Structure 1
Amino acid sequence: MTNISVLDPSASPLDYYGFELRRHREAAGLTQKEFGDVVNYTGSLVGQIETARKLPTDVFSERADAALGTGGLLSRLVGLVLRSQLPAWFQQVAELEARAIEICTFQTHMVHGLLQTEAYARAVLGALDSSRLDDRTAVRLARQRIFDKAEPPVLWAVISEAALYQEMGGPETMRGQLARLLDFEDNPRINIQVLPYSAGAHAGLTGSYNLYRFASDPDIVYTEGYGVGHPTANPDTVKDCSLRYDHLQAAALSLKDSAGLIRHVMEERYGDQRDSDRDSVA
């Protein structure tokens, strides 16, 4: 229990969350085990969260708030906690996503993180490093909370057709991911276009990038390398990338035709019939 006693709530958002959880639990007169029984988690897990050794989840936070009568405190904190666990070089990007009123993204080989399913995100994040994969996946998915705001941003996503065929995590994972993209078909705030192979040479050949627009701040362009991000508000760069994005959207399929292609690939490449054929050959 010594670790709990010396926990510094100012050390990090995770420490602050653990401090508040412990404070409210003790005020309710519950041991870690008793509280764990109430929220359907082990007392050991409760202890790990209280000592900042384990990340809380949305579900845990909701149950804890209900059990302790905290008025939603922990549910409000968990987003900050998860964002703080992003790599240091990427935390600024998460802040840009949270403040933007419009996000334009072009992806050459995979689905953008704001649109990824849990299984797809795990496959991407675990490609070379499987350590703390549960936590890292939860942190990535937490970025999607921006769409739950009262005024969520408008997202325009142009995805290369290659991303539909780059098999991340196997056929079942890809089928689920493409189905997720189709879930947004009638959502005017999340717009997905596919840049088909037939577009040939196009304005995005230099690579993937994001463009963030804000209510009163200058637009920002973000590109990414290995373990480093490059945000810039340079007017010339923003102007060039905005023009390139206009051309990418013009070269891409319409929203309706993009959904049709996604549906076609989902069924023809990752559908049940394909799995059955594969099993029969084996």
Structure 2
Amino acid sequence: MVNINTLDPGASPLDYYGYELRRCREAAGLTQRQLGEILNYTGSLVGQIETARKLPTLEFSERADVALGTGGLLSRLVELVLRSQLPSWFRQVAELEVRAVEICTFQIHMVHGLLQTPAYVRAVLGALDETDLDDRSAVRLARQRIFEKEKPPIVWLVLSEAALCQEIGDAAVMRNQLAHLLSFERDPRINIQVLPFSVGAHAGLQGSFNLYRFASDPAIVYTEGYGRGHPSADPDTVSDCSLRYDHLRAAALSLKDSAELIRRVMEDRYGEQVV
């Protein structure tokens, strides 16, 4: 007989998800193995998710919703589950991203997480620690679901040319990442400008930062250090960073010229090399 762990659905979003998955499966009269066969997963994986030992994915949730006739329950829950797995100091940022109507970000060393490809995410998160890399990557990528909202935020990204040249992963990872940036070239809601090396000293020398603007709440500035985040709604801080951001956008290349530079770096630096 299978040993069934007793879950407290109030312990965490992951526990609640597992509890609901088991409840829906049992209501459908299916064993873990039978549900796994329907979903094209193993019964063991179903059991691990039901006992909160494995993170569910969006794909798993969508398939389970269809198979169990849950009306999209698990697909809604999985967003909370994945958000709850973010580092505690970063969860507020994920909430800001969900609520924001406009996100303005300046990045010096790497592409912003909302625009990273899966391979780039793995390379970033696995730089020093490959523990649970699949799950941690899925959690970061889940933040990008804000673009699937009925009214997704408008994003302005000013990206230092250094981030294009910093090879994260390998040449193939970077080539695909830059191609991903170019895929937004005609999307008016996602605007990417490159701050070229030729600018020299600029208003963002103190470091990367994000500005979150909302429909009715005051704007918030977010900066980040090692293992901690620094959100601030202080009017003076917001005003200072807003001014800095305006100067960065003015100094950066136009949208068209930025795309041309990204394309040139992608082809010249990371293009297929003939041996």
Please, what TM-score do these two structures have when normalized by structure 2?
0.99
Letter in 2 for 1:159: L
Aligned length: 274
Aligned to 1:166: 166
1:11 shift after superposition: 0.6
Aligned to 1:142: 142
Aligned to 2:105: 105
Higher helix share: 1
SS at match of 1:45: helix
In structure 2, distance between residues paired with 1:187 and 1:47: 41
1:29 shift after superposition: 0.5
SS at match of 1:186: coil
1:195 aligns with 2:188: no
Letter in 1 for 2:25: R
In structure 2, distance between residues paired with 1:175 and 1:97: 27
Aligned to 1:30: 30
1:2 shift after superposition: 4.6
In structure 2, distance between residues paired with 1:77 and 1:195: 39
Aligned to 2:226: 226
Aligned to 2:125: 125
SS at match of 2:164: helix
Aligned to 1:216: 216
Aligned to 1:115: 115
1:32-71 mapped onto 2 (5 Å cutoff): 32-71=32-71
SS at match of 1:216: coil
1:58 shift after superposition: 0.9
Letter in 1 for 2:90: F
Please, what TM-score do these two structures have when normalized by structure 1?
0.96
Gaps of 5+ in 1: none
Provide the identity percentage. 77
In structure 1, distance between residues paired with 2:83 and 2:199: 37
1:258 shift after superposition: 0.4
Aligned to 1:88: 88
Aligned to 1:246: 246
In structure 2, distance between residues paired with 1:11 and 1:191: 40
Gaps of 5+ in 2: none
In structure 1, distance between residues paired with 2:209 and 2:50: 38
1:251 shift after superposition: 0.3
SS at match of 1:222: strand
SS at match of 1:243: helix
In structure 2, distance between residues paired with 1:215 and 1:13: 28
Aligned to 1:184: 184
SS at match of 1:34: helix
Aligned to 1:15: 15
Cα deviation code 1:229-260 (max 9, x no counterpart): 00000000000000000000000000010000
Aligned to 1:175: 175
Cα deviation code 1:255-279 (max 9, x no counterpart): 010000001111111111xx32xxx
Cα deviation code 1:98-154 (max 9, x no counterpart): 000000000001000000000000000000000000000000000001010001000
SS at match of 2:20: helix
1:27 shift after superposition: 0.5
In structure 2, distance between residues paired with 1:192 and 1:81: 30
Letter in 2 for 1:260: E
In structure 1, distance between residues paired with 2:70 and 2:39: 14
SS at match of 1:230: strand
SS at match of 1:169: coil
1:3 shift after superposition: 4.7
